Amino acid sequence: MTLLAERRPAAPHEEPHEEHRRGLLYWLTSTDHKVIGKNYLVTTTIFLLCGGLMAMFIRVQLFWPNSHFTTQETFNQLFTMHGTVMLLLFAGPFAFAGFANYIVPLQVGAPDMAFPRLNALSYWLFLSGGIIMLSSFLVAGGAASFGWTAYAPLSDSLNSPGAGADLWVVSLFLTGFSAIFSGINLVATTFALRAPGMTMFRLPIFTWNMLVTAILILIAFPVLTSALVMLYFDRHFHTHIFEVAGGGAPILWQHLFWFFGHPEVYILALPYFGIVSDIIPVFSRRPLFGYRGMVFATLTIAGLSTGVWAHHMFTTGVVLLPFFSAMTMLIAVPTGIKFFSWIGTMWRGAIQFKSPMVWAVGFLVVFLAGGLSGVILASPPLDFYTNNTYFIVAHFHEVLIGTTIFGGFAGLYFWYPKMTGRMHREWLANAHFGLAFIGFWLQTTPQYVAGLHGMPRRIAIYQPSDGWTSLNRLSSIGAWCIGASFLFFLWNMWISWRKPVPAGSNPWDAGSLEWATSSPPPHHNFHSIPPIRSERPVWDANHPDLAELEEPRIPAEVGSGPSGNGHGS
Amino acid sequence: MAPDDGTPEDAGPSPGEGPLRGAGRHHSVAADEPTASHPVEGLKSEPHHRVSGHYHSQRKVWKGYRVEAWVYLGVAAFFVVVCAAYWFTSKERAGSVMLILTAFLGFLPGAYLYWWGGHMHPRPEDSEAAELEEGAGTVGAFPSSSIWPFVMGTGAAFTCLALVFGAWWGVLGGALVVGCLVGYTLESRRGGYV
């Protein structure tokens, strides 16, 4: 809609003041994608700290056997809200709303997102949904306590009475719409607002991944939203959709939830794959190895991820095991292609271990470990053995922390100079990484062992005779290390705010289009942009000699075909 | 779909004068800004210089929205196959319905983009050889601020709270939503920002 001339031209006196507007009114009214992107990043980081605090409490409770730090009910609320907040208020929006909002229009050479006001609405829905969700701790009966999966019949009005569960439902309703609107905006921006010469196959991989994520959002979130409506109807109007007593089917909730839930895992993962795919070439001083393979792998992962939902339901006994097992294992193939490309990019590169690269390499290691245990769990007999144990908990924390924390903070340290115009302190970013990395392994490895020894998930109390005490203590210490590592992050932000070191427009000598503009970018992003003749227009412009060497695509005198791989020359 | 076979044409860039193209492209906004020397070192020469002249020959020009359409059509094709495989092996209804609806979700925008792309001139962003000035003109209206998304978001949140705490929240939320709709509509007519 904004592509049409829908309003009179603004009066000349209004425009020059835009960049100087600050304060509460500016914050409430801005539709600039950069402001909204930063709003998302700050808000989601606050939600990360809230969810992290809940994790710290959970680990305090599990540090001692027979602990009474919390009650079982409070513990249930803590892990329910920890899961929901981390997945739906931090991990997803941090990337597909925060980074995507800020970076995608810059990478495609657009002045803003396609629908700026829809973008702002999306943020306000997200913020209000998040506040409503966290405020559910304050109502009588406390927050929702049925786990972030809200399985029927546990989530019905008989087993989960009270306003906390309803607040959980409506807050996900709001954040779900927010995600759908962000998805629409991302697709429209990528399809319709690219700069001349920025063909689809010149988009940075980050933008490709955000596009595919946006399509996954459009596939997955409407299913969740409709399932939530059904759940609400069951709770208040006794429609019996998920109740056996009234002729409904509780298993339907699991189908609907996981048809959203598994793509959601990739909605969380793909943006971070994109971030890492942008970072590794920059700090390896090489072009990305296998660009089209990366695009193909992203699309394939997204497609397959929507066909594997019932691998979360193996133990229900009513799903087709071979189909879902095979589809799940197939995902390892495109993911392997991605790893191959990342390693191929680094291979024989002049690697610079700046903080974004350190985090990105950490991502590779952590995500690979989590992915491998995922292949184990894709096998139904092994899943039967480990289902509902801490083995599962360790697996998905490895996958999710690997992507969202290691990939996410790689991106944050990569684009922080672009967003703020200031450099962060490298040693603090590396210290943040080091403590988080050590803490991470200390946390998850004992959880794998505890799971294999039979420790069920979601228990608040265990006995000394169970033999899990030392494993849990190690895991708790690891979790607290991860928590403590964020003090370095906050310190880093504080220092760069109080003692700014100017970053310049392109501190990493990177190649994609966001580095062609100032840091932070001006209103409507670009005063001018370089010609776009490859996936790395800024690199080409800054290193014209290397651009010619690296891209001998179309020797004019040979003309080796329109795709121009240069094989004929 | 036969005439538009999806293969890239081996033709030079078509300037954006087509009747179905959007009204011009990028950097009109930049043109409204005070002109300044480019902030990036190394780009201080004229902003539209070519990296090297011999790139310009025989660059690919995709038909409008062709790759974009195939992304969606690929979604549709993939889920038709998966749905068929799933239905004939499991006969499970919930998953099959969701899969076939996902195929439709890919087919509708994909077919529309494919059809529309066949009726439009190539856009400069679909051409590998496009010069930036081909995108000159108005990109669109990008409001820099508006209070109404905030009002709408607050109204929607209050309306949702009515589902939990009672209908009186709905009165408040409904008033905000209706107020937003009126204000948003008038905002476009007034040309103001708040």
Bond into A153 cis (ω within 30)? yes
Query: What is the pLDDT, as a whole number, of residue B30?
Result: 35
Chain A residues lying within 8 Å of B135, measured CB to CB: 195-196
Q: Above 70 in pLDDT, residue B34? A: no
Contact A201 B145 (CB under 8 A): no
* Rounded mean pLDDT, A133-158: 94
| Euclidean distance between CA atoms B32 and B39, whole angstroms | 17
DSSP B100-143: HHHHHHHHHHHHHHHHHHHTSPPPGGGBTT--GGGG-S------
The mean pLDDT of chain A is 91
Contact B128 A124 (CB under 8 A): no
pLDDT for A359-407, tens place per residue?
A: 999 999 999 999 999 999 999 999 999 999 999 999 999 999 989 999 9
Best A138, A177, A527 member to test B by mutation, with max B CBs in 10 Å, is A527
Query: What is the pLDDT, as a whole number, of residue A21?
Result: 61
Query: What is the pLDDT, as a whole number, of residue B62?
Result: 83
Q: Above 60 in pLDDT, residue A559? A: no
The neighbour count for residue A286, using CB atoms within 10 Å, is 18
Burial class (CB within 10 angstroms; exposed 0-12, middle 13-18, buried 19+) of A21: middle
How many Å lie between the alpha carbon of B13 and the closest alpha carbon of chain A?
10
Say if B67 is an interface residue toward chain A (CB within 8 Å).
yes
Query: What is the pLDDT, as a whole number, of residue A18?
Result: 47
| Euclidean distance between CA atoms A286 and A351, whole angstroms | 9
C-alpha distances in Å from residue A219, one per residue of A97, A263, A337, B72, B104:
17, 8, 24, 11, 10
Best A20, A117, A262 member to test B by mutation, with max B CBs in 10 Å, is A117
Query: What is the pLDDT, as a whole number, of residue B23?
Result: 30
Looking at chain B, which residue has its C-alpha nearest residue A201? B67
- End-to-end Cα, chain B, rounded Å: 46
How many Å lie between the alpha carbon of B35 and the closest alpha carbon of chain A?
7
Q: Above 70 in pLDDT, residue A552? A: no
Query: What is the pLDDT, as a whole number, of residue A7?
Result: 36
Query: What is the pLDDT, as a whole number, of residue B142?
Result: 82
Chain B residues lying within 8 Å of A14, measured CB to CB: 193
Global confidence as pTM: 0.87
Looking at chain B, which residue has its C-alpha nearest residue A529? B47
pLDDT > 90 in chain A, percent: 87
| Euclidean distance between CA atoms B139 and A233, whole angstroms | 45
Structure tokens at A297: 């792998």
Q: What is the 3-state secondary structure (H, E, C) of A525-555?
A: CCCCCCCCCCCCHHHHHHCHHHHHHHCCCCC
How many Å lie between the alpha carbon of A89 and the closest alpha carbon of chain B?
16
Buried b (16+ CB within 10 A) or exposed e, A501-530: eebbbbbbebbbbbbbbbbbbbbbbbbbbb
Structure tokens at A460: 């608040």
Query: What is the pLDDT, as a whole number, of residue B132?
Result: 84
| Beta-strand runs (E) in A337-479 | none
Say if B19 is an interface residue toward chain A (CB within 8 Å).
no
Chain A residues lying within 8 Å of B38, measured CB to CB: 527-528
Chain B residues lying within 8 Å of A556, measured CB to CB: 54, 56-58
pLDDT for B87-117, tens place per residue?
A: 999 999 999 999 999 999 999 999 999 999 9
Say if B97 is an interface residue toward chain A (CB within 8 Å).
no
Look up the ipTM and state it. 0.88
Q: How many helices (H) and strands (E) does chain B have?
A: 5, 0
How many Å lie between the alpha carbon of B53 and the closest alpha carbon of chain A?
9
Say if B23 is an interface residue toward chain A (CB within 8 Å).
yes
Structure tokens at A504: 């310049």
Task: Identify whether the C-beta of residue A450 lies closer than 8 Å to the C-beta of residue A471.
Answer: yes
Q: Above 60 in pLDDT, residue A250? A: yes
The neighbour count for residue B182, using CB atoms within 10 Å, is 11
Chain B residues lying within 8 Å of A250, measured CB to CB: none
* Rounded mean pLDDT, A541-547: 84
pLDDT > 70 in chain B, percent: 67
Bond into A520 cis (ω within 30)? yes
| Euclidean distance between CA atoms A457 and A442, whole angstroms | 18
3-state helix, strand, coil in chain A (%, to 5): 70, 0, 30
pLDDT > 70 in chain A, percent: 92
Phi, psi for B191 (deg, rounded to 5): 80, 10
* Rounded mean pLDDT, A505-513: 94
Grade residue B189 by pLDDT with cuts at 50, 70 and 90. Answer: confident
Chain B residues lying within 8 Å of A547, measured CB to CB: 51-52
Q: Is the dihedral of CA A313, A314, A318, A321 positive or negative?
A: positive
Chain B residues lying within 8 Å of A110, measured CB to CB: 26, 139
Q: Which residue of A170, A556, A562 is in closest CB contact with B163?
A: A170
- Cα angle, residue A121 at apex, residues A128 and A232 outer, rounded to 5°: 50
Answer with the residue of higher pLDDT: B43 or A315: A315
Q: Above 60 in pLDDT, residue A566? A: no
Task: Identify whether the C-beta of residue A530 lies closer than 8 Å to the C-beta of residue A538.
Answer: yes
Bridge partners (DSSP) of residue B61 are: B9, B127
Q: Above 90 in pLDDT, residue B186? A: no
Bridge partners (DSSP) of residue A30 are: B145
